[in-house]
Structure 1
Amino acid sequence: MRTYRELFRTPEFTPFFLTLTAQIAAMTVAGLGLATLVYRDTGSPLLSALALFGPSLAQVVGATTLLSAADRLPPRAAIVGVALLLALGTALQAIPGLPVAAVFAVLSVQGLIGSVGGGVRMGLLHDILTREGYLLGRSLLNIAVGVCQIAGYGAGGLLVALLSPRGALVTGAALFACAALCARLGLSRRPPRAAGRPSVAESLRVNRLLLSLPARRRAYLALWVPSGLIVGCESLFVPYDPGHAALLFGCAALGMLAGDVTVGRLLPARWRGRLASPLHALLAAPFLLFAFGPPLPVAAVAVAVATVGYGASLLFQERLMALTPDELSGQALGLHSSGMLTLQGVSAALAGVLAQRTSTPTAMALLAGLSLLVTAALAYAGRADGRGSGNEEERGTRDRKPGSALSLVTARRSEAGATGRSRRRAES
């Protein structure tokens, strides 16, 4: 599968694509409206940042307790149910006079729901496109995310200006409902990818196994930390320039779109392994300019250039999928999504604290510098372990084969003991 057009000839990809784009548009419009509403009511950069990215903090709870459901629920029913619950929560946030504490309580519930929804969606994408088409499909979806965010932030800014922040929230709720309808009418019924009932114990056990291989751990850290810190910078766009935050968010989405097109469609395969870390460095470096409080035109260009680096995520996702068995793709991708969103929420909170103790421009520059340090450390660790990379690749390939240790994590408890022994022999 080589072109985006071929993706739309794949059965079920079009309704899946429309469902996801409607949901991203809903989150964008509603997020901007809620962040603006909270900032107007409280004047707090911390609370404004948490309103925009706060649901991400609840992802860590969902990842450790609910994530096994990503492979053990019927995908269509789960996607429809998640979208309807998000629509309900967004509509509740639009109620006039709702206390700030109640707003954040609803956000926390939405984060828990989203931790399962992300794994279900990405696992279904992997089923629809297979492993060979996954990178191209993720590239197209990331492009759609960028376009929806550009349009969503533009529309959200207009809704906030012409109507009110609550008008943006109501629009977001309606878009979530449209996503649920599209999934219900367009997707076919599929059985769960894995047998058994979702449980906290199963979620923890599979997560431990997914993180047991150093190559997968590095891939997860690379997917979570450097970009998560830059999202913390973006969470301060509203306090940095309340009147033009939508423009800065739109520039970020435009840069991300360019990066995803370049990596997913244009970048030759031989360059993929070499450019992942440089792209992460590009993601952070331009944000250092915010230490000087640049005017809006300079800030907008810096943001657009920097966010091209988000394309690195596609390269690390491809590596993660190469080391993960198909029947656990939902939980593996859900763990990626939940960890990424959790780091985004933590970074947004850290950004708010730094902004209140120093200043908004200083906080953005500090987070960008920390992202560069993490990127350098991960790149050094990868090179230092280069001699053992062949063993990690071999073990990751074994994990994907039927009957391997990682493939048998959903088997009976009596089989789990033999699985653990075979893993220890593979590691010795």
Structure 2
Amino acid sequence: MAAQNRTEPGRTTYGEVFVEPEFRVIVVGKLLMLLAETLRTLALSVLVYKATNSALLSAVTFGAGFIPQAIGGSTLTALADRLRPRRLLVTYELLQTAVTGLLAAAVLPVWTVLVLVAMAGTFAPLRSASTEALLPEILAGDRYVLGRSIVQTISSTMQIAGYAVGGLLLAVLSPQAALSLAAGSYLLAAAIWRLGLRNRAVRTPDLTLRATAIETWRTNVYLLRSNRDMRGLLLALWLPIAVMAGAESTLVAYAARAGLPEGSAGYLLAALPVGMVLGDVVVARMLRPVTRARLALPLALLAGVPLLAFATHPGLAAGMALLIFEGACVAYSLPLQAAFAELVPAHLRGRGFGLFSSGLMTAQGLGTVAVGVLASAIGPASAIAVAGGLTATTVIVLRRSFTAASHA
């Protein structure tokens, strides 16, 4: 009771979240998985750019795992409710280990690299749906909001580490060395899931495996059509971030065209998650739920402003500062995610979060291709600036959707 008296009503402490053993497992497992993903993405983007000198191909490589998630998200995510979460996560990490190990061990044509990354990306919605559905089962109420923020903060921190370490590795070692480390990180994540998670029961045992594709599609259509607020929240979560991801995908080409020092692309890519860490800590820990919801729209509007400044061709330090500011504004998504979690029925949780994750990744993939095409036509700096304008435009168009967060 004493601890409760020291805590203001409506606020949750970090201790109340980290006391859950399975939450700590999710944090460590996602940390290792994201380290592997960032190392692999940066190494492959640099490898392809050096081989082709093409901003478009580099951007497509950066987002190659995104677009195929539309396939997985529309056909496979029912498996997140049909299979045991622990078994599903272990299998996914072992698949990524095999793919990344092959990329590290062999010199492959660009098209083969893209096919392998796309194939592995098809199954990513299953991993996202499984981990996202576990969170509200482990943490309830405002503990979920703070727990979700912690996961995003630690995920962003690991992206910082992954891109920063990747930048250093690629300055002194080959991309294959970074890929080997990524494969090892995926393998360690598989061990963490296997040893740390309870062997939870399936959510819908009566769903046959043959019916997963039909049921996934049917549930996605139901969720999108049944609730206008849910539909608006998803669009507000998907579209602005998709455009920002497109800008992010051209940073490798931007660093090269701007003549920045070797390894600068890794530092630019690391700056965005630095801002995300700062934004998540301030918004989730220091603000009340009602204040978070009210700030969602202003933060989303501000997110595109730093990208506009890339029209002036900033150097490394200025570019990092701009991307840190942009990343901080991505905290607009926290109250929207909490509102979405409240709207999804419990028995559809795996499929609901699968729809959210696969839709987000698909939108990001389309964003990387679109901005990559633009970068090939007008240059990376101008393309990033245009992406900033598009980010603000999408938020203005979807402004009414942000009110759903304050009503949840």
- In the superposition, the TM-score normalised over structure 1's length comes to 0.87
CA contact (8 A) 1:227 1:280 kept: no
1:201 is the counterpart of 2:214: yes
**Deviations 1:76-129, CA, capped at 9 Å, x for gaps:** 000101011011111111233211111111111111111111101111122222
CA distance in 2, matches of 1:158, 1:272: 37
CA distance in 2, matches of 1:284, 1:175: 33
Aligned to 2:140: 130
Matches within 5 A, 1:25-40: 25-40=35-50
CA contact (8 A) 1:255 1:303 kept: yes
Shift of 1:267: 1.3
Describe the SS at the equivalent of 1:239.
helix
Shift of 1:295: 2.0
Aligned to 1:418: none
Amino acid at match of 1:14: R
CA contact (8 A) 2:35 2:185 kept: yes
CA distance in 2, matches of 1:262, 1:193: 35
Amino acid at match of 1:333: F
CA distance in 1, matches of 2:371, 2:129: 27
Matches within 5 A, 1:77-96: 77-96=87-106
Shift of 1:280: 0.9
Amino acid at match of 1:27: E
Amino acid at match of 1:224: W
CA distance in 2, matches of 1:126, 1:2: 15
**Deviations 1:154-185, CA, capped at 9 Å, x for gaps:** 11112212221111011000000000001111
CA distance in 1, matches of 2:12, 2:204: 30
CA distance in 1, matches of 2:108, 2:19: 46
Aligned to 1:329: 349
Aligned to 2:61: 51
Aligned to 1:190: 200
CA contact (8 A) 1:227 1:283 kept: no
Q: Which runs of 5+ in 2 are unaligned?
A: 1-10, 257-261
Q: Which runs of 4+ in 1 moved over 4 A?
A: 380-383
CA distance in 1, matches of 2:320, 2:300: 19
1:245 is the counterpart of 2:278: no
Aligned to 2:83: 73
Shift of 1:132: 4.1
Say if 1:43 and 1:5 are closer, same or farther in 2 by CA, change over 3 A: same
Identity of aligned residues (%): 36
Alignment RMSD: 1.7
1:292 is the counterpart of 2:296: no
Shift of 1:381: 5.9
Shift of 1:141: 0.6
Matches within 5 A, 1:93-242: 93-195=103-205, 196-198=207-209, 199-212=212-225, 213-242=227-256
Describe the SS at the equivalent of 1:241.
helix
Amino acid at match of 2:208: R
CA contact (8 A) 1:36 1:238 kept: yes
CA contact (8 A) 2:246 2:387 kept: yes
CA distance in 1, matches of 2:329, 2:80: 29
Q: 259, 280, 285: which is aligned to 1:265?
A: 285
**Deviations 1:14-61, CA, capped at 9 Å, x for gaps:** 122111110011111111111111111111111111212210001111
Moved more, 67-76 or 264-273: 264-273
Amino acid at match of 2:249: S
Amino acid at match of 1:262: V
Amino acid at match of 2:236: A
Shift of 1:321: 1.2
Aligned to 1:357: 377
Q: How many residues are aligned here?
A: 388
Shift of 1:272: 2.1
- In the superposition, the TM-score normalised over structure 2's length comes to 0.92
Amino acid at match of 2:29: T
Say if 1:382 and 1:7 are closer, same or farther in 2 by CA, change over 3 A: closer
CA contact (8 A) 1:65 1:200 kept: yes
CA distance in 2, matches of 1:187, 1:300: 37
CA distance in 2, matches of 1:259, 1:59: 27
1:9 is the counterpart of 2:4: no
CA distance in 2, matches of 1:378, 1:240: 30
CA contact (8 A) 2:233 2:401 kept: no
Amino acid at match of 2:148: R
Shift of 1:380: 4.3
CA contact (8 A) 1:11 1:128 kept: no
CA contact (8 A) 2:100 2:182 kept: yes
CA distance in 2, matches of 1:223, 1:132: 20
CA distance in 1, matches of 2:353, 2:71: 16
CA contact (8 A) 2:336 2:402 kept: no
CA contact (8 A) 1:25 1:149 kept: yes
Amino acid at match of 1:313: S
Matches within 5 A, 1:338-417: 338-380=358-400
Q: Which runs of 5+ in 1 are unaligned?
A: 394-428
